Structure 1
Amino acid sequence: MKLQVTIWGIMMKRIAVVLALFLLAAAGCSSNTEPPADQKNNASGDKESVIAESPDKYVQLFADTSVSGDMLTGITVKLGENSKHFSWTNVTNDGYYPEIIRDDLDQDADQEVVIILTKGYGTGLRDSEVHVLRNDFTELDIQDAVSVVKSSLISSASSKDGKKDYTLTYKDNTINKQYNDEDAGMWFDDVAIGSIVTYRVENQHLLAEVSAQVSPGFFIANVEAEYSVKGSKLVVGNLALNEME
C-alpha cells in the first residue's frame, strides 16, 4: 500500500510539471498575438509601423521601417477600417516621412486623400511624388507638372565679360538675372527646371511648385502649377512664374 501511494505521488508531481510547462508555453504564445497599436502585419507577414496619419487618424500609412537602406519600399494605406497596399516608396529619414492632406478637390462633397512622398533630397534637390485617392482607393491620374512647365517656358543663357546672364519667360512675364562668374563654382548651360518639386493644397486645389535654377546654389524663379480635376485625372491649368529674391 505504501509503495502504491509513493508511485501515485511521483506520477502526480510529473503531471503537475508537464501542466505547468504547457501553461507557460501557451502564455508565451498568446502574449505575441496582439501587436502594438502602431504596428500591424501586412499580407506578406512583414511588420509594418505607422509612418504618417491624418489628425483624426482616419488616414494612416504603414511601412516596414526595419529595412536597411535609404528607401521604404511598399506603403499600406488605411482609410477608416479598410486598407490597400501600394508599391510606393519614400526615404527612410523620418524627417521626410509622407504628408497627408484631406480636401474636396473635385468639389463633390467627398474629401480626397492627398499623399505627398519624398523620393530624394539634398542640397538643391527635393524629389517629391504626389498621389490622390478617393475613399474607395481609386487613384487619380496626375499630369506631370515638370513636363508642362518645361514645355511652357522659354529660357536663354549667355556668358560675356565675366558675366552670366539668364532669362526665363512665361507668356508676358520675363525674369532676367545677371551674375559674376566668381559668384558660383559651377553654372548651368541653361535654366534647369524641376530639381525641387513640392506640393500643397490651397483653396481646394492641388498645387505643384517647380524650381528654376542656374547653379546648384542659385534659383532665379519658381513656377506654381495649379491642378484641376477632370474626371479621373488631375491636369495642370494655370501657371504662375514667380521671381526668387
Structure 2
Amino acid sequence: MKNFFIKLSPILIIILVSMAMVTKANTAERVVGQLPEAYLTLYATEKKEGSLTTDLTNFTLKVKGHTYFFSRWMNVPNPTYYPELYYSDVNNDGKKEIIIVLTTGTGSGVVLQEVHVFHENNGDLVEVLVDNPVAIINKNVKTKSSNTEAVITIDNNKTKINFEELGIVPAHISENVGFGNKLKFKVIDDKLVAIVDASIAPTGGGLGEIHIAYMFKDNMYQAEEIKFIPFWKLEFY
C-alpha cells in the first residue's frame, strides 16, 4: 500500500492557520436577548481582535422552533447596549409583532440604532421596511438659526429656542441645526417611535428631540406623527 502525502508550501500553511485562528476567534456565540412571551431567543457571535470583543455579529434568531440567520447585523459589544427586544402590536392588527433594536454605534454624545420589525405570516417571520427617520426629518422639518436662537418648524408649528437660556456658548454654535448624533428606537404605548436629537453645537448644544411615531401603511412603516420636544420638556427614556 502506498502512502500519499501532500506537501504544503509555508505560505499556504500560514494562511490555513490564520483562517483557523480567525474562525476560532469569531465562534464565541452567546445569548444576547430573550422574549419568553414570544418563545424567542437571540444569539450572536462575539467578533474578537486579540483579547478584545469588537462587535456582536452573525446573529441567529430562534422563534417557536424556527431559526433565522442574519449575517449582516451588527451590534456594539458593550452589554449596556445589547439588543432591545419588544413584542407589541405596533401595526394595530390585533397580533403582536417582534421588534429588534440594534445599537450600531456609540461614543461621546453618540448613540446610533437601527430597527428590524417582523410580522408573522403563516407561522413564518417576514421583515417589514421602516422608513429612515433622518430622511423623514429632511422632508418634513425646517430649521433656521442665528447667533442667538434657532427656529424649528414642523407643518405650521414653530418652536423658538434661545441659546442663552440653554447656556449654549455662542462661539461653539454651528451654522445649521444638526440631527442624528443620537438616533434611537423605542416602542411606547404600542407605537414604534424614532427619537432623533437636534443640536446646534458638537458638544453642549442640545436643543431637544424629534419624535417620529410610525404607522403601518402601504406594506411599510411610515411617519404618522412628527413632533419636536424642546430640551426643557423632555422625558428621558
Task: State the TM-score, normalizing by the size of structure 2.
Answer: 0.76
Supply the AA of the counterpart residue of 1:145: P
**Which residue of the other structure, out of 77, 80, 90, is the alignment partner of 1:95?**
80
Relative to 1, partners in 2 of residues 1:82 and 1:203: Cα closer, same or farther, differing over 3 Å?
Answer: same
CA distance in 2, matches of 1:47, 1:84: 18
* Alignment-derived partner of residue 231 in structure 2: 244
CA distance in 1, matches of 2:32, 2:223: 29
- Secondary structure at the aligned position of 1:126 is classed as strand
- Pairing of 1:1-245 with structure 2 (within 5 A): 46-56=27-37, 58-65=39-46, 67-68=48-49, 69-86=53-70, 87-135=72-120, 136-159=124-147, 164-179=148-163, 183=169, 186-215=172-201, 216-245=203-232
- Secondary structure at the aligned position of 2:126 is classed as coil
CA distance in 1, matches of 2:28, 2:104: 22
Structure 1 ranges of 4+ moved more than 3 A: none
Residue identity (%): 24
Relative to 1, partners in 2 of residues 1:156 and 1:47: Cα closer, same or farther, differing over 3 Å?
Answer: same
Cα deviations by residue, 1:28-76 (Å, 9 ceiling, x for unpaired): xxxxxxxxxxxxxxxxx94421011114471111111253353222211
- Secondary structure at the aligned position of 2:127 is classed as coil
Greater Rg over alpha carbons, structure:
1
Supply the AA of the counterpart residue of 2:77: T
| Cα displacement (A) at 1:186 | 2.6
Do the aligned residues in 2 keep the contact of 1:150 with 1:193 (CA within 8 Å)? Answer: no
Instruction: Give 5+ residue unaligned stretches, structure 1.
Output: 1-44
Do the aligned residues in 1 keep the contact of 2:168 with 2:204 (CA within 8 Å)? Answer: no
Cα deviations by residue, 1:97-134 (Å, 9 ceiling, x for unpaired): 00000012223332110000000112221101000012
Aligned residue pairs: how many? Answer: 197
Relative to 1, partners in 2 of residues 1:230 and 1:171: Cα closer, same or farther, differing over 3 Å?
Answer: closer
